[in-house]
Amino acid sequence: MGCQYFDPCDHGADTFTIAIPKVTFGRGCLAEAGARARALGMTRIAVFTDPFLRDSVYVATVLDSLAQAGLDAAVFDEIAIEADDASVARGADFIATGNFDGVVSVGGGSVMDTAKAAMVYGLYPTGDFLDYFAPPLGAGKTIPGRLLTHLACPTTSGTGSECTSLSVLRINNMSTKFVLGNPLLLPQEALIDPTCCDSLPAMVVASTGFDLLCHALECYTARAYTRWDKVEDPTRRPLIQGANPWSDLAARKALEIVGEYMDRGVNNADDREARDQLMWGASLAGMAFGNTGTHLGHALSYGVTHLMHDITTPGYAVKSPFVPHGISVVVSAPAIFRYTAEAAPDRHFEAAGYLQADLRGAGSEDSGEALAKRIIDLMQKTGVPNGLNGVGFGPADVPALAASTARQVRAIANSPRETNLVDIENIYAAAMSY
């Protein structure tokens, strides 16, 4: 592991905390939703989904299971494909007026993230939407009490939101995504049914797969938990705490899954083994980064989705402009890991190996290039856009992209290498094409 990551004599904290939900994984497990919800004590349930899934067999399976268990359910589906504060406000009204004692979310990351945040604002309204966000963006206001019991049912193989205490939301008046993080947001249980991925278009599998890849890479190469200041009150220790022994275990396996199954899962919809493995890898990466945090990959992605303009993405029935989250992350990833490798070469070299990079004749001094080349190889094999040029950006956009990203203070601080505005500009410039 290396003492730079796990030295108990380091000047910072020497304790880490791990939190994950109870997880059930397997084909057909959505049919267990009723029994699981009833065992959790739910009687009246708010079912969160989106308009694209509302009439799907997956939502129907969950609703039928809840009904067979004798549970009352009402459906909320007014959720944007990229979760935003408007979706949360609508969901909060639904929670506030519904007399619910439990939530079941069925969908991708936007659905699960909206469900988490809607409980916060529906149960504990506040004058400013940003009050519960951490400084410097928000006021860092404490959520006053517990949320409703949450059973999360992901339908894509990327976000891992079913295993995190995070809600990633687009703040519309700022046109940028920010992270609402609090241990109270962690679902109590997750039903992970890879059947949901059988019919996903190739580009959706690619986008979510690269989200999974970058989750695992970023938390494996993040600053170590020992590098942060001690938190005197153990109940206030954040789960976004940097790389730790638990996150390493989950991230390593997630990276191995991507290296083995990403190409197959994207390019062959009939390859159930590959798509099942990617679904499992997404949850593992969620367990990892939910207890670590991401860093520059996700920080720079928010600049992309802030300033995206006339661009659409095949496989998504969404009006322009739209760049799916995983694509917004991976277009800068090769340039990012070339940059960060200097600060943690062994970690980057190990990560390249887990991804099945060709490391013949290479050493840790080559880790950034080896890792970048393997990411580019996977991008080419899965047909995603070739860097920032491929999603509508050019060199003239670099200053604005960097200025937008500079607001992502927490993620930038989690990077293994100290990073300033000029560094971010240089990374974006290097990420135009590969």
Cα separation, 111 vs 105, whole angstroms? 6
Radius of gyration of the chain measured on its C-alpha atoms: 20
Q: Structural domains in the chain?
A: 28-192 (3.40.50.1970), 202-430 (1.20.1090.10)
pLDDT of residue 331: 97
Structure tokens at 353: 């190996």
pLDDT of residue 310: 75
Cα separation, 425 vs 414, whole angstroms? 18
Backbone dihedral angles phi then psi of residue 420, each to the nearest 5 degrees:
-115, -175
Pairing of strands 176-181, 166-171: antiparallel
pLDDT in 10s for each residue of the chain, 434 residues: 333 454 444 434 588 899 999 999 999 999 999 999 999 999 999 999 999 999 999 999 999 999 999 999 999 999 988 899 999 999 999 999 999 999 999 999 999 999 999 999 999 999 999 999 988 889 999 999 999 999 999 999 889 999 999 999 999 999 889 999 999 999 999 999 999 999 899 999 999 999 999 999 999 999 999 877 677 787 777 788 999 999 999 999 999 999 999 999 999 999 999 999 999 999 999 999 999 999 999 999 999 999 998 776 776 767 667 889 999 999 999 999 999 999 999 999 999 999 999 999 999 999 999 999 999 999 999 999 999 999 999 999 999 999 999 999 999 999 999 999 999 999 999 999 99
pLDDT of residue 235: 77
CB-based contacts of 269, cutoff 8 Å, min separation 6: 198, 199, 200, 202, 275
Task: Report which residue type is found at 261.
Answer: Y
Closest to 152 (Cα-Cα) out of 111, 118, 121? 111
Beta bridge partners of 96: none
Cα separation, 329 vs 298, whole angstroms? 6
CB-based contacts of 2, cutoff 8 Å, min separation 6: 346, 347
CB 224 within 8 A of CB 291: no
Q: Which residue has the tokens 């990959």?
A: 297
Backbone dihedral angles phi then psi of residue 178, each to the nearest 5 degrees:
-140, 165
Cα separation, 105 vs 85, whole angstroms? 17
Q: Which residue has the tokens 């083995």?
A: 260
